[in-house]
Amino acid sequence: MARASFLSARLLVVASFAASGAALATTAVSSTVLACGGATYSTRGVVKSFGKDRAYVNIAHERIAGYMEAMTMSFEPKDAEQLRSVEVGDQLAFTFTATDEGRRVLQAVTKVPTRARR
């Protein structure tokens, strides 16, 4: 009896894992999944444009020590709320994770008041 319930518990775990895997495959790219083994960096930049439905944001970022020189590139939000009040031209201080698959996922986003940058 004990062995039977152990086996069914295992089956339940396998079944729910398969179900969550299927759900992941059908959801949009902007997931809330955190990167595994990705490096995290902090920098500043100016918002240049947004992707469709704000699935990503193009930011002209400053030089990122140990990662890359200043350039404009895209970052995807960890969740939609992060970009809700962000507009083109805003100065941002932000932290992101560079995932093993080459995605750059925003972890923390803060608007930098323009007056404070003089």
Nearer to Cu ion by Cβ, of 62 and 111: the residue is: 62
What x-and-dash track marks residues 55-74 binding Cu ion by CB under 5 A? -------------x--x-x-
Nearer to Cu ion by Cβ, of 22 and 68: the residue is: 68
Q: Count CB neighbours of 54 within 10 A.
A: 15
Count of chain residues binding Cu ion (CB under 5 A):
3
Rounded Cα gap, residues 38 and 79, in angstroms? 18
Residue nearest to Cu ion (CB): 73
Nearer to Cu ion by Cβ, of 73 and 93: the residue is: 73
Query: Contact residues for Cu ion (CB under 5 A)?
Result: 68, 71, 73
